[in-house]
Amino acid sequence: MPTSENDGGDPEPPAPERRGYTMTTSEHGSPANWDHAASESPGAGVSVPGAAILPAPYVTGNLRDLPPVPQRRVDQLVRSLKEICQRAWTVAPSVSGSIDRQLALLGQGNVVITFGGHFKSGKSTVINAALHRLIMPMDDLPETGAICVLTFGKVDSAIVHNDGDTRPIECSTECIRRETSLISSAGERRGEVHSIEQLDITLADCVIPESARWIDSPGINDTAEMDQRALQAARAADTLIWVTSSRQPLSEVEMDFLADYVAQRGPASVVFLVNAFLQKDELDEWKAFLSDKMPRVIGKIHANAQAMGFPSPPLVIPAAGRALCGTEAPGFGRRDLRQFLTSFNSNTHPRVQRARLYQTALELRSLESTVRQRVASETESLARRAAAAKQRQARERRRADFAREIESAAEAFLADWGARARQTGAALAATITAPSLQRGLTYSETLSRELKAAADGVVTGLLDRVQRLAEEYNQPPIDDLALAELRALLTPPDVIVMVPLSGKGKVTSTMPQSVIAEFIENDAHWARWNTSYATEQAVAALTMKEQKILACALGRPASTVTPDNGGARETPSDSSSADSGFDQAQVDQLEEIASRLTYAADLAVSLAELEGQP
């Protein structure tokens, strides 16, 4: 019978299934959980100075992982997101675009596994061990300087992505080393590796599931550029296999990196793989590592788990990568490593789904916050616009009342001045008699002067009235220019009083005086009539200026007034009345979207939770 790894050996794992994730079971045939793992693992109940006693969630030879996510509830979340996307399109298109991206993430078929860790933790070695093939370069110095993406295919191939160009290379360890190695054979750093953006490696008949991508990334804490590439590779992952060295497990740099990563991707997105560097790659050394050193390593990981964002002890897998690469014998963690990595053959894998749901939950929370801020902003805008509209209406009412008062005052002025003008004209006409009849412009000048004098008193009264009304109705006072223009408009025009010469060409020296007197009397009669006519013309001329008078009194240039726009009743347009914000119905729609985002985010959070965690 085959022995477990605790006894020093395990059988070669069967070929991986490619149909979908399959939950592993305990020895009793029940779904695994961390409590079972705690009782059966060699690291259970390890005491670390300054740390609580925590169970070790791994069992060598019978690896247990998270339970499946209920697909019915995932479908419920997807339906909810699609409804939000449709509702948000008209009022918040950016929300629709973001939700479209989350739906694409949740439905993405490919599964990406990234191997990350401190430089020289043995990431490439572990990948070779899992593949049971020495394809990735391994060395004592930091080796991998470019992101390497490994996939399953019909034939071996390798393609280099270099500054936007692609070129094929031979799919061999040496050729891959020439493209990706950070250190030359002379021990010097190779600058040319920085221009390599990515290396795509396709391997025939390998254990990588067809729907999976394995990424070998540069190690962190080497250079700033390598740190950035490591972060880029980690961000592409559905699950980050964090390879930590048994020589120096979990440095502060690693913990800081993982704390940031878990905050963005969730605790289900990270699995620890302790790469055991044995003094001798022998099964006795492996058993000694599991019993002596592994409990201390896992204890350190558990002691710092909460600081890194894990609500419960994370999954830890031990494997001796170098030993696995050097032997085909069972043991050294081969079965657990293969079993775990090949289980990532579908996007329904519990860790893949939880990591994606966690990202979706974070995005939905962010969208919810953004939409609620928009609701608050638009609500404030509505209140401001309502207050502005109320003030505008009050201004318009005051303006209309002011215009009516001005119109009434102008009509009163014209009526008063018209009466005064007629009295002035009648008084002048009464002085025109035959004996005193004056020829020339005498009557014209006299009537023009006396009409202006008659207007002076009422003009001053109207101007004072206009100023008082402007103050009473909270209108801008008339400036000096407008005041001068208004006074000019209110001043009567000069008039012409025609004095005819009825006897011109008819009077002779022999004509009787009675006939001559009759001619003169006729001239005097027409002079009186013309005086009255000139007076009415002056009254009519000023009445025709009424609209311009009103416009000037209301604070608009008289030259802009035409008979069509009715100066007294037109109010200036208010540009502040333009409404570019949301109306109440749109704000209500945003509020509904925010509520739906809250529900969807809560659902995504509950689905992303680890078993037994609130």
DSSP string of 189-229? B-GGGGGEEEEEEEEET-SS-TTEEEEE-PPBSS-HHHHHH
Task: Work out the pLDDT band at 18, boundaries 50, 70, 90.
Answer: very low
The residue ranges of DSSP E strands in 208-333, in sequence order, are 212-216, 239-245, 270-275, 316-319
The DSSP bridge partners found for residue 157 are 202
* Of 12, 248, 244, the residue nearest 121 (C-alpha): 244
Structure tokens belonging to residue 241: 């296999």
pLDDT at 277: 94
Cβ atoms within 10 Å, residue 182: 24
Which is higher by pLDDT, 558 or 20?
558
* Of 359, 354, 358, 351, the residue nearest 21 (C-alpha): 351
* Of 198, 123, 200, the residue nearest 156 (C-alpha): 200
pLDDT at 384: 92
CB-based contact 154:184 (threshold 8 Å): no
Residue 258 burial (C-beta neighbours within 10 Å; 0-12, 13-18, 19+): buried
In the chain, the amino acid numbered 117 is: G
d(CA 404, CA 408): 6
d(CA 198, CA 172): 16
- Which SS3 state, helix, strand or coil, does residue 244 take? strand
Task: Work out the pLDDT band at 169, boundaries 50, 70, 90.
Answer: very high
Which CATH number is 5-69+111-359 given? 3.40.50.300
- Is residue 356 scored above 50 in pLDDT? yes
Q: pLDDT per residue over 313-340, tens digit each?
A: 999 999 999 999 988 888 899 999 999 9
- Is residue 560 scored above 70 in pLDDT? no
Q: pLDDT per residue over 429-449, tens digit each?
A: 999 898 888 888 999 999 999
Which is higher by pLDDT, 205 or 36?
205
d(CA 119, CA 216): 12
CB-based contact 358:265 (threshold 8 Å): yes
Share of residues in the chain with pLDDT > 70 (%): 81
Q: What are phi and psi of 113, to 5 degrees?
A: -115, 120
Structure tokens belonging to residue 200: 């795509």
* Of 570, 572, 574, the residue nearest 385 (C-alpha): 574
CB-based contact 447:424 (threshold 8 Å): yes
Cβ atoms within 10 Å, residue 167: 10
Question: What is the domain partition of the chain in residue ranges?
Answer: 5-69+111-359, 392-573
d(CA 161, CA 152): 19
pLDDT at 572: 43
Q: What angle do CA 272, 73, 367 make, to 5 degrees?
A: 80
pLDDT at 564: 46
- Give 600-605's long-range contacts (Cβ < 8 A, gap of 24+): 600/77, 600/80, 600/81, 600/84, 600/364, 601/361, 601/364, 601/365, 601/368, 603/73, 603/76, 603/77, 603/80, 604/77, 604/357, 604/358, 604/360, 604/361, 604/364, 605/357, 605/358, 605/361
- Is residue 92 scored above 90 in pLDDT? yes
Cβ atoms within 10 Å, residue 123: 32
> At 527, which helix (H) or strand (E)?
helix 513-543
d(CA 405, CA 399): 10
d(CA 386, CA 392): 10
For residues 404-427, give the mean pLDDT.
91
d(CA 595, CA 87): 12
d(CA 122, CA 241): 12
Task: Work out the pLDDT band at 581, boundaries 50, 70, 90.
Answer: confident
Q: Which residues contact 330 (CB under 8 A, 6 or more apart)?
A: 2, 9, 10, 11, 12
pLDDT at 187: 61
- Is residue 237 scored above 90 in pLDDT? yes
- Is residue 215 scored above 70 in pLDDT? yes
